[in-house]
Amino acid sequence: MIPEHLKYAPTHEWFHVESKSITVGLTKYIVDELDKLLFLDLPKVGDEILADISFGEVESLENLLDIMSPMAGEIIAVNERLFENLDILSNDPYVHGWLIKFVTKEQHLLSELLSAQEYAAHINKLHPAAPLKRRKRRGKVIIKGKRRK
């Protein structure tokens, strides 16, 4: 399920706009695609991030993902708990698995991000859902709790 109240980047980051800051995390889709997470690198509080330039990375057994933001800003908080336990990111990417909080003067760029429906369409293009296979029923049919012969 893709939370409706967030905005999304095509690079699989989510953004939650609060009164004075923006919280950033990774979507469940990309966390599941990465599978077993091994390493996370994030900036420190006070660091500047630049628009469309990697500010961190997450590594799994077979992949390395750059984490980016479409807007520049200054880091005001980093989720330090993730360094101790990456399973938090894997198990709860939208609440406890947030990555950073930052302030920006470029909030107008949030309008260029994807809505939940647009992000769902984006990931469906990347990974179309397999059509459901219809199977013929085999064996006996149960009607009103009794076996039909």
| pLDDT one-digit tens code per residue, 58-87 | 999 889 999 999 999 999 999 999 999 999
The whole domain housing 97 covers: 7-129
Tally Cβ neighbours within 10 Å of residue 57. 14
Closest CA to 3 of 103, 68, 108, 97: 97
Residue 60 placed within a domain = yes
For the chain, how many structural domains are there in total?
A: 1
Residue 14 in this model has a pLDDT that exceeds 90: yes
H or E segment to which residue 15 belongs: strand 13-17
H or E segment to which residue 64 belongs: strand 64-67
Residue 141 in this model has a pLDDT that exceeds 70: no
Name the one residue in this structure whose structure tokens are 């198990």: 91
Question: If 0-12 CB within 10 Å is exposed, 13-18 middle and 19+ buried, where does residue 16 land?
Answer: middle
Residue 135 placed within a domain = no
> What is the average pLDDT score of the chain?
86
Tally Cβ neighbours within 10 Å of residue 58. 23
| pLDDT value for 19 | 87
Question: What one-letter code names the amino acid at 51?
Answer: A
Q: Which two tokens stand for residue 3?
A: 């939370």
Contact (Cβ atoms closer than 8 angstroms) between residue 14 and residue 31: no
Please give the Cα distance from 20 to 38 (Å, whole number).
32
Residue 136 placed within a domain = no
φ and ψ of 34, to 5 deg: -70, -30
Residue 140 placed within a domain = no
Min mean pLDDT across 31-35, 44-48, 77-81, 135-139 is at 135-139
Residue 103 placed within a domain = yes
Residue 54 placed within a domain = yes
pTM for the full model? 0.82
Q: In this structure, what CATH number is given to the domain that contains residue 30?
A: 2.40.50.100
pLDDT tier for residue 129 given thresholds of 50, 70 and 90: low
| pLDDT value for 1 | 81
Residue 25 placed within a domain = yes
Residue 141 placed within a domain = no
Quick one: average pLDDT of 15-44? 94
Residue 94 in this model has a pLDDT that exceeds 50: yes
